[in-house]
Amino acid sequence: MPGVVIVGTQWGDEGKGRFTDYLAKESELVVRYQGGHNAGHTIVVDGEVFALQLVPSGVLYDYVTPVIGNGVVIDPAVLVDELDMLERKGLDTRRLRVSGNAHLIMPYHQELDRVTERYLGKNKLGTTKRGIGPAYADKALRVGLRVQDLLDAKIFREKLELVLREKNGVLAKVYNRLPLDADAICERYLGLVPRLEPLIADTVHLVHDALDAGQRVLFELTDPAAQGRDVLIALVGHAVSSAGVAAFEGSDRNVDLGGSLRGRQGHVD
């Protein structure tokens, strides 16, 4: 089971990006398994700078399949912008595979992130206000929308209208904000489907098949300080919103590091 997991052991900025890029050269799949677009890797190749927030660094190598796993929360507009940036620099992004089970960051997540921080005042958490924490909260509450929901406009709208009842109620009655419009959100998000649909895949089977075939798979952590600020073990108020420790990489990618969900026994180098 030739899997390698990269995590940070401190508070971030330990040079994970440098090691990720180094090991990506020797991998066949590079899998981003948690976090959102609040962090990333900056890689310099022949003097050209690539600032990656969502796309795994393996995209820089034409023999590597970059994968965004189901543990990531995705703002689809940010993802499309990043793909456009990479293509302007001459990279082929068609190899990217995005988990249909990954959760979407929605406009109400970003709005709630902003107003919550403002109302906390001096006790604010210092988030990036990009909606990542609220998106993970909805994932835990089982009311989040997923990437695969974009593929059916009717389902997407039904789920959106249902969740907006609660989100708009909170925004209006608690924070005195204007409600968000379902039509505008649908137009914005569903308009990105033609670009994203060819990339959406069952990444769980993709990774399992690669491991079964003996291919080298690199699991890439991008959220800052996975170990030191993991939501499961860090101090309250100092944690990121996702689980980044190696033990939970398996749950985010549906790969059990002690023996896979298919009952296979194995280990990670």
Q: Please report, for residues 78, 118, 122, the alpha-carbon distance to residue 112 in angstroms, rounded to integers and kept in the order given.
A: 18, 10, 17
The residues that are catalytic are 13, 41
**How many helices, marked H, and strands, marked E, lie in the chain?**
10, 10
3-state secondary structure of 166: helix
How far is the C-alpha of 60 from the C-alpha of 58, rounded, in Å? 5
How far is the C-alpha of 100 from the C-alpha of 255, rounded, in Å? 16
User: How far does the chain reach from its first CA to its final CA, in angstroms?
Assistant: 8
How far is the C-alpha of 222 from the C-alpha of 54, rounded, in Å? 8
- What burial letters (b/e) apply to 183-192, b meaning 16+ CB within 10 Å? eebeeebbee
218 within 8 A of 6, measured Cβ to Cβ: yes
